[in-house]
Structure 1
Amino acid sequence: MALYTPAYKPNGNEIAVIKTSKGTIRCQLAGNDAPIHVGNFVELAQKGFYDNLKFHRYVPNFVIQGGCPNTRDMTPQQVASGMPGPSGRPGTGNPGYSIHEEYTTNPNNSHEDGALAMARSQMPNSAGSQFYLCLGAQHFLDPNYTVFGQTIEGKDVIGTLRAGDVIETIEIENAN
């Protein structure tokens, strides 16, 4: 799959406002530390890519994960059950490209409680659209996954999210 370089260049002040069926989460994006990941996330959010996708993976005391386009045409109940949808199995979709990893170059790549990071397959440069929020510190992930934001409001909301819950929209404040 081709590696994509986003046209959007982060200014370091972007805040992702993730509106979910359980409430709103605000994350300060780390544009200076992970400019490719932030640029990609901003572009996808501004295109409406994430609108009405579902969180498809919940592991207690670990992560809640979403951003798979395969969940778009599925009901929350179908996603929660783990069944394949019309576009494929939740957790296997992407935006049609991948981006270069930044966990080896991000000086602040730390999976703290509420960290926003990009999921990927076993290949280092395979992240695309799927992201996760940490449910507690997960520092063993630091050497292998790129953190590109940190929750500043809504950790209580993150704690209530489960597979099948809806990402209603993601808006970006302070974008260029």
Structure 2
Amino acid sequence: MARIKPHALLQQSKKKKGPNRISLTTIILSSLIVVLTVFFLYTTYRNWSQRSGIQMENKAAFEGDNSSVDLKKSDPPGYAILDTAKGSIAVELFKDSSPEVVDQFIELCQKGHFKGMPFHRVIKHYVIQAGDINRLEATEEWTLKGKHYAQLDTSLKHEAFMLGTPKANPNNRGFELFITTAPIPDLNEKLIVFGRVIKGEDVVQEIEEVDTDEHYQPKSPISIINVTLKQKI
């Protein structure tokens, strides 16, 4: 057996122990694989996040719709805000004592029935009336009684700043609003009281003081701009 020279042994040892060189192509391919992997993971996470967000929004919207329906059926609004050019009038609705009229009022508010409705009759120290100007009735009886009733003792339901509508109310089109500005003892004979003013009495009084003609119609038009229904105030 031939003997290996020491110099040859040294060269073989260096070849076995020396590290292998990594080619540039291998480095580029490895880097590309890492970048693609990270990009894929990021895209997957982003799509999952967006999908989860959409599902949560749809769920919230669905639950919100259900709650609105339930709220409308089981807990109707208890207040209404009448916005006028003179300011806002907050009204508490008598849901317990006049449920049918309140339901009708709420339905008409949602349909926009009162938007732009004018105060077409203003009798100082008595009442302001909003409704269809073409449906005016005689005012003599209201006016004559109004001159005397302010000095009489009245029950709570007949106080000033009560909200009512005429008993002779055949349809929604004829639904008019009366806000008393003085006590009216025979109010039940004429109106169905279904609310009272709790804020904005000064606005009612300001409307009451507008100039009117001989038919108690305001010389300068003033109307209900909008009515907003509220659960709480």
Shorter-chain TM-score range: 0.5 to 0.7
Q: Aligned pair 1:24/2:88, yes or no?
A: yes
Deviation at 1:91, TM superposition (A): 3.1
- TM-score of the two chains, using structure 2 as the length reference: 0.50
Pairwise mapping of residues 68-87 of structure 1 onto structure 2 (< 5 A)?
68=132, 71=133
Deviation at 1:90, TM superposition (A): 4.7
**Counterpart secondary structure, 2:136:** coil
Give the distance between the partners of 2:193 and 2:73, measured in 1 at CA: 17
Give the % identical residues.
27
Q: Which position in structure 2 is the counterpart of 1:132?
A: 178
Q: Which position in structure 2 is the counterpart of 1:91?
A: 136
Q: Which position in structure 2 is the counterpart of 1:95?
A: none
Q: Which position in structure 2 is the counterpart of 1:53?
A: 117
**Counterpart secondary structure, 2:206:** coil
**Alignment check: 8 A CA contact 1:10 1:31 kept:** no
**Counterpart secondary structure, 2:106:** helix
Give the distance between the partners of 1:56 and 1:23, measured in 2 at CA: 17
5+ residue gaps, structure 1, are 1-7, 72-88, 93-107
**Counterpart secondary structure, 1:31:** coil
**CA shift digits 1:96-125 (9 cap, x unpaired):** xxxxxxxxxxxx98221110000244xxx5
Give the distance between the partners of 2:122 and 2:194, measured in 1 at CA: 20
Give the distance between the partners of 1:111 and 1:10, measured in 2 at CA: 29
Instruction: Give the RMSD, CA atoms, in angstroms.
Output: 2.6
**CA shift digits 1:113-146 (9 cap, x unpaired):** 110000244xxx5474101000011122124421
Between Structure 1 and Structure 2, the one with more helix by share is 2
1:169 partner amino acid: N
**Alignment check: 8 A CA contact 1:27 1:152 kept:** yes
5+ residue gaps, structure 2, are 1-71, 138-154, 211-217
Q: Which position in structure 2 is the counterpart of 1:38?
A: 102
Change in CA separation of 1:130 and 1:42 when aligned onto 2, cut-off 3 Å: same
Structure possessing the higher relative contact order (Cα contacts under 8 Å, 6 or more residues apart): 1
Q: Which position in structure 2 is the counterpart of 1:15?
A: 79
Q: Aligned pair 1:116/2:173, yes or no?
A: no
Match of 1:146 among 145, 168, 192: 192
